[in-house]
């Protein structure tokens, strides 16, 4: 298992599995707040992995990590807010 020693390979494997989970949720027609929240959490995790491992910001100055992870939180929150508003 030399493949999993590289952090980018581990991140790629997690991204692959997370994509499969969200695809499955879409195929079975998962609906409701729990399904939406699950998909947004998975999207946040995937975005964070891309930022930290593929954009190589894991060792970057804290400002850049906070800026990009904050952007993920803001966008995810706005999507969740739009979904919540659509329920009313």
Q: How many domains does the chain have?
A: 1
pLDDT of residue 1: 66
Q: pTM for the full model?
A: 0.82
Which residue range(s) make up the domain with 21? Answer: 2-86
Q: Are 47 and 11 in contact (CB under 8 A)?
A: no
pLDDT of residue 41: 92
Compute, in degrees rounded to 10, the torsion defined by CA atoms 37, 38, 44, 45: 160
Q: What is the pLDDT along the chain (88 residues), one digit of tens a residue?
A: 687 888 888 999 999 999 999 999 888 887 788 888 888 899 999 999 999 988 989 889 999 999 999 999 999 899 989 988 998 8
């Amino acid at each position: 298992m030399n493949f999993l020693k590289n952090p980018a390979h581990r991140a790629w494997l997690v991204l692959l599995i997370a994509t499969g989970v969200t695809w499955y949720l879409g195929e079975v027609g998962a609906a409701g707040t729990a399904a939406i929240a699950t998909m947004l959490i998975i999207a946040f995790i995937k975005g964070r992995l891309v930022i930290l491992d593929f954009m190589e910001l894991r060792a970057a100055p804290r400002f850049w990590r906070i800026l990009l992870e904050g952007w993920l939180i803001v966008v995810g929150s706005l999507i969740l807010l739009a979904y919540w508003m659509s329920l009313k």
